[in-house]
Chains A and B, each alone.
Chain A
Amino acid sequence: MRLNAGSVSIKKLIIHEVPNKRGISGNTALVLSERESILDKDSMRIFQEKIILASSGAFSVQFDETTESKAPPLIRSILKDKNQESFIKYSAQLANELYETQTGQVSGGILVVIAFTNDTKNAVAILKLEKEDGVRLLQDQVEGKTTFNLDYVKNLLITKKTRVFKTGIFVADKVVEGKLEIVGYVTDPQNTSNTDVADFFLAKFLGCKLTIVPEVATRIFFEATNTFINNFITEPDEKIKAYSHLVSELTNNKRKISIPEFAENYLDAKYQQKYVSTMKGASVPRHIEKNTNLIDNKIKKITYLFESGISLIGTNEVLSEKVVLKSQDKGTTKVEFVDKITKIKS
């Protein structure tokens, strides 16, 4: 689903303040708006950009049938509400749901609900933001001299550079057997090591789950990238380097894989665009929550160290296929394998 400045048209926007009711200090009361916010042209554009930005970095999600969250039917109602007559009511109920489900570890914030259309399709964006304080610059003349004064600003909600925030985007698709099909995306389902916090927005509040489970998405990424390396990268050195980066990307500590970032960081310039286009053509998700369970035997290396100082290193899969280990007398092992030598290094 492609959102852009030509397709996204904001119809209504409403803001509710949703603190953590189990918070230890400050205001803990829910503050619900009773009417939509009035947006000037610049604010409209900022939110339009945030919706577009969020959708490009989002993960495909679907409603979880087993969820207890009240969000899915509310989202469905907003999408079916042709003229958004009950928009305020539904958004308030969403705010209530957020308020009731936030645990002590989840920080409170601002819930922004935006009814928009993507081309002609009804859509809704649900953003959870945090208020910030900041300082802005004011040019002034003091005693005939130019200076810059600083103005402390409270309740700053969003800046042009704000990139990472929790957003759910849901677009009404077609009606199948009387039921409205909804295409859903959520940004950053897990951006912290605390899984309660990480699961909260996607699963507990929005009642969603990832459309493609991380293990499968990771395997799709690995296989498609491996195929690309074999089919399109012709120089042997570059092939080895690319594969090595692929394994490194899968085995490092990062939780997420981004196809464009992988291309930019690890592939030679001449392959970058081709790689992104090829992955798109192969329907590889643009952003992937990493889980290597299904491919560990292909990527994780095992090292056999021998008393003599010889080492044998390979992936589990290759070692199983090619190497035969036979126990001998006196605790020794005979190692047999047949292969071509490609490099000798010292």
Chain B
Amino acid sequence: MNISELRERWLSEKDQYKEFANHVHELIKAACNQEGINPKISFREKDLASFIKKAIRKSYKDPYTRTVDKAGVRVVTNFPFELTVVSNLIKQNFKIHEIDNKSERLALDKIGYKSIHFTVSLLDPEKSHFRNKKCEIQVRTLCQDLWSEMSHILAYKSDIKLPNDIKRRIICLGALLEVAENDFADIESRLKELPEFYELKLLDLLEQQYYQFVGATFSKDLSRQVLRNLKLCLPEIEQQAYKYRLGEFCKDHGSVIKAIIAEYSDTNPFSSQPELLFILERLESDRFSLRRAWESHYPFEYLEDLAIAFGEPY
């Protein structure tokens, strides 16, 4: 295939690849939501100029087939630990043709491009024109992405011959970003050990949903106390994905939540607080743990009222 044929073919097919890349992006986004992580995910079909330049540079016999990143998705995570989470999600949700972990190829004393590249296709293509199509998924952290983008902008990998001092400065910046990334991760772990971190984070999630149902203030002190007393109802293993679970719960049970807030606000002190959503969600997911935690702190009749109103009496 000559360059002209390559160009013509790509112009006629690129919209299909854009649609395909979007589909892959939606699948990854949904999977990440369910896991409770929120990376930035972007997608693109390969740029025509970039396609042609690569075909010329690499002198492929069949550049069209050999170019596996005609559809591309990039996943940029906040923390290094999320790289493993996303990698596992990709392995669970796609057929893997190749994995190229650029980090593993870097020597210990080298700073350079770090990213994990997956070449994938769909496990179960809905549309016929998605069959046999491959997508390249790049997974990297925010800091790795910044370094990659900046060094690209600064033409680090281009044919320009950079003076050594500039090269060294770019390398130092890469090292600095790696240190920053590790520090951010460490700070995040330390924060999780602080008293009230869990309750405040949970309250933040609950508030985001609460204002869908109520346009009024609530007692933050009561919320913090209740969540501190009931937090053992939510096992650690479920905490990461709780945002997604809570969102789905509120979507599915909107009418009963509204009814409880409207009808019980004068008789039940928990009914006009954000922790109501936590209580109701736990009633559905683990009523036994909820009751055990509850009875150590509050009169059971308050929980019983909410359970009856929710349709899950004890």
Residues on A facing B (Cβ under 8 Å): 2-7, 45, 49, 52-53, 55-57, 260, 263-264, 269, 272-273, 276
Q: Determine whether the beta carbon of B260 is less than 8 Å from that of A5.
A: yes
> What separation, in Å, do the CA atoms of A7 and B305 have in the docked complex?
16
Chain B residues closer than 8 Å to A45, beta-carbon distance = 263
Q: Determine whether the beta carbon of B286 is less than 8 Å from that of A273.
A: yes
Chain B residues closer than 8 Å to A57, beta-carbon distance = 313
Q: Determine whether the beta carbon of B311 is less than 8 Å from that of A4.
A: yes
Q: Is B60 an interface residue (CB 8 A)?
A: no
> What separation, in Å, do the CA atoms of A56 and B264 have in the docked complex?
20
Q: Is B287 an interface residue (CB 8 A)?
A: yes
Shortest beta-carbon distance, A273 to chain B, in Å?
A: 5
Chain B residues closer than 8 Å to A56, beta-carbon distance = 311-313
Chain B residues closer than 8 Å to A53, beta-carbon distance = 308, 313
> What separation, in Å, do the CA atoms of A3 and B309 have in the docked complex?
9
> What separation, in Å, do the CA atoms of A3 and B311 have in the docked complex?
5
Shortest beta-carbon distance, B278 to chain A, in Å?
A: 16
Q: Is B179 an interface residue (CB 8 A)?
A: no
Q: Determine whether the beta carbon of A273 is less than 8 Å from that of B310.
A: no
Per the 8 Å Cβ criterion, residues 179-194 of B in contact with A are: none
Shortest beta-carbon distance, A208 to chain B, in Å?
A: 23
> What separation, in Å, do the CA atoms of A264 and B257 have in the docked complex?
26
> What separation, in Å, do the CA atoms of A264 and B263 have in the docked complex?
30
Chain B residues closer than 8 Å to A2, beta-carbon distance = 311
Q: Determine whether the beta carbon of A52 is less than 8 Å from that of B311.
A: yes
Q: Determine whether the beta carbon of A273 is less than 8 Å from that of B259.
A: no
> What separation, in Å, do the CA atoms of A49 and B312 have in the docked complex?
11
Chain B residues closer than 8 Å to A264, beta-carbon distance = 288
Q: Determine whether the beta carbon of A5 is less than 8 Å from that of B256.
A: yes
Of all chain B residues, which has the CB nearest A49?
Answer: B308
Chain A residues closer than 8 Å to B264, beta-carbon distance = 5
- In the complex, 23 of the A-B residue pairs with CB atoms within 8 angstroms, ordered by the A residue number, are A2-B311, A4-B309, A4-B311, A5-B256, A6-B255, A6-B256, A6-B257, A6-B258, A6-B259, A7-B256, A49-B308, A49-B309, A53-B308, A53-B313, A55-B311, A56-B312, A56-B313, A260-B287, A264-B288, A269-B292, A273-B288, A273-B289, A276-B287
Of all chain A residues, which has the CB nearest B301?
Answer: A160
> What separation, in Å, do the CA atoms of A7 and B255 have in the docked complex?
8
Chain B residues closer than 8 Å to A55, beta-carbon distance = 311
Residue from B285, B287, B288, B314 whose CB has the most chain A CB atoms within 10 Å: B288
Shortest beta-carbon distance, A9 to chain B, in Å?
A: 9
Picked from B256, B288, B289, the residue with its CB within 8 Å of the CB of A4 is: B256
Picked from B255, B259, B288, B314, the residue with its CB within 8 Å of the CB of A269 is: B288
Per the 8 Å Cβ criterion, residues 113-127 of B in contact with A are: none
Chain B residues closer than 8 Å to A260, beta-carbon distance = 287, 314
> What separation, in Å, do the CA atoms of A269 and B293 have in the docked complex?
12
Shortest beta-carbon distance, A340 to chain B, in Å?
A: 35
> What separation, in Å, do the CA atoms of A37 and B5 have in the docked complex?
84
10 closest cross-chain pairs (CB), A and B: A4-B311, A6-B256, A6-B255, A5-B309, A6-B259, A272-B288, A5-B259, A273-B286, A4-B256, A56-B313
Shortest beta-carbon distance, A274 to chain B, in Å?
A: 9
Chain A residues closer than 8 Å to B256, beta-carbon distance = 4-7
Of all chain A residues, which has the CB nearest B258?
Answer: A6
Q: Determine whether the beta carbon of A273 is less than 8 Å from that of B263.
A: no
> What separation, in Å, do the CA atoms of A276 and B290 have in the docked complex?
15
Of all chain B residues, which has the CB nearest A275?
Answer: B288
Picked from A4, A7, A52, A273, the residue with its CB within 8 Å of the CB of B287 is: A273
Shortest beta-carbon distance, B264 to chain A, in Å?
A: 8
> What separation, in Å, do the CA atoms of A4 and B264 have in the docked complex?
13
Cβ contacts B260-288/A at 8 Å (1 or 0 each): 10011000000000000000000001111
Chain A residues closer than 8 Å to B311, beta-carbon distance = 2-5, 7, 52, 55-56
> What separation, in Å, do the CA atoms of A260 and B313 have in the docked complex?
10
Q: Determine whether the beta carbon of B310 is less than 8 Å from that of A5.
A: yes
Residue from B255, B308, B309, B312 whose CB has the most chain A CB atoms within 10 Å: B308
Chain A residues closer than 8 Å to B257, beta-carbon distance = 6
> What separation, in Å, do the CA atoms of A330 and B69 have in the docked complex?
90
Of all chain B residues, which has the CB nearest A261?
Answer: B314
Chain B residues closer than 8 Å to A269, beta-carbon distance = 288-289, 292
Chain B residues closer than 8 Å to A3, beta-carbon distance = 311
> What separation, in Å, do the CA atoms of A182 and B160 have in the docked complex?
80
Shortest beta-carbon distance, A29 to chain B, in Å?
A: 36
Shortest beta-carbon distance, A275 to chain B, in Å?
A: 10
Chain B residues closer than 8 Å to A4, beta-carbon distance = 256, 259, 309-311
Chain B residues closer than 8 Å to A6, beta-carbon distance = 253, 255-260
Shortest beta-carbon distance, B312 to chain A, in Å?
A: 7
> What separation, in Å, do the CA atoms of A4 and B306 have in the docked complex?
10
Of all chain B residues, which has the CB nearest A45?
Answer: B263
Query: Given that A6-B255, A6-B256 are contacting pairs, would A52 and B288 also be in contact in the complex, using a CB cutoff of 8 Å?
Result: no
Chain A residues closer than 8 Å to B285, beta-carbon distance = 273
Chain A residues closer than 8 Å to B312, beta-carbon distance = 56
Shortest beta-carbon distance, B15 to chain A, in Å?
A: 43
Beyond the given A5-B264, A56-B311, could you list 5 further A-B residue pairs with CB under 8 A, ordered by the A residue number?
A: A5-B310, A6-B260, A52-B308, A52-B311, A269-B292
Q: Determine whether the beta carbon of B313 is less than 8 Å from that of A52.
A: yes
Of all chain B residues, which has the CB nearest A4?
Answer: B311
> What separation, in Å, do the CA atoms of A264 and B287 have in the docked complex?
10
Of all chain A residues, which has the CB nearest B288?
Answer: A272
Of all chain B residues, which has the CB nearest A9?
Answer: B259
> What separation, in Å, do the CA atoms of A5 and B289 have in the docked complex?
23
Of all chain B residues, which has the CB nearest A1?
Answer: B311
> What separation, in Å, do the CA atoms of A57 and B308 have in the docked complex?
11
